[in-house]
Amino acid sequence: MNNTNWKQKFWFRKRNFLFLIFSLMLVNACALPVRQAYRVDQSLPIGSIQGDSFVGQRFPFKIKIPAGWQATTQYPEFLVGQGYGREGLKETPFFLFNPQTKSSMQVDFSPAGRTVRFDQEMIEMLTRSGGGGLVAELREEHGKNLPIQLSKAVPIRIKGVPYAARMSAQFTVKEEWRDQGWIYAFAEPYQIFIFFLITGENRDADTDAIEQALSSFEYLGVR
């Protein structure tokens, strides 16, 4: 497994998902491959803004940019101040953010292993594992009694994606309310990771913007 998959993303690690997948790969080491090995063409540009949307080229997706938000393929520096690992941010191909409130969304792709078989139950299990990792890291950093409201892992419909689940955690650190959410999905040949953070400054409007962006997200498929 590529070491870059183990870099910190947000307040918890993407490895919470990938470790379980890696374990399943070991269990299924003798299984017949269900897909060909896939390599991302790093020579392609990540994508471009077209009208009010961003269209990926290196990774095949499309997403609408909410009004007042910005889209970029370079991480905004304020994310580091919010506790996100710089190395993980460097590896993430796409960001949406509100420059006023510092709420944000990140989208990442990782090719799936050749022998791993995905279904909705597995996706939801892996999504729940992210919640456990986040709670452990937050309480390690901010105290074991930190109140955290953790949602259930629920299915979510994403255009062009057969399996996807969503989960979130709400908590307050340094007197700032936050809603940290993540979506784990699979569409051949990619695992898709969507992470978002909503700050307390204008939570209702930013929540609406995040929901609009998610409802517009479409996986276009590898051509």
Pairing of β 94-97 and β 104-111: antiparallel
Confidence class for position 32, pLDDT limits 50, 70, 90: confident
Cβ distance 182 to 191 under 8 Å? Answer: no
Query: Quick one: which H or E segment has residue 170?
Result: strand 163-173
Query: Which pLDDT tens digit goes with each residue over 35-55?
Result: 899 999 999 999 999 999 999
Position 223 in a domain: no
Give the whole-angstrom CA distance, residue 110 versus residue 14.
11
Q: Which amino acid is at 166?
A: R
Within a 10 A sphere around the Cβ of 68, how many other Cβ atoms?
13
Examine the pLDDT at 223 and tell me if it is beyond 80.
no
* Amino acid (one-letter) located at 135: V
Give domain status of residue 37, yes or no: no
- What is the model's pTM? 0.87
Measured CA to CA, the distance from residue 126 to residue 116 in angstroms comes to 13
Cβ-contact 222, 40 below 8 angstroms: no
pLDDT category, 10, cuts 50, 70, 90?
very low
Residue 169 domain-assigned? yes
Query: Does 40 reside within a domain?
Result: no
Whether the CB-CB separation of 195 and 181 falls below 8 Å is answered with: yes
User: Residue 159: which domain range?
Assistant: 3-27+45-215
pLDDT of 87-109, one tens digit each?
888 889 999 999 999 999 999 99
Within a domain: residue 115? yes
CA distance 195 to 185: 11
Token pair listed for 103: 């709420």
Alpha-carbon gap, residue 54 to 152, rounded angstroms: 30
The rounded distance, in Å, linking the Cα atoms of 188 and 212 is: 24
* Any domain includes 57: yes
Number of domains within the chain: 1
Q: Is residue 94 part of a domain?
A: yes
Question: For the residues 121-131, what does the mean pLDDT come to?
Answer: 88
In a domain, 210, yes or no: yes
Query: CATH number, domain at 68?
Result: 3.40.1000.10
Angstrom distance (rounded) from CA 59 to CA 93: 9
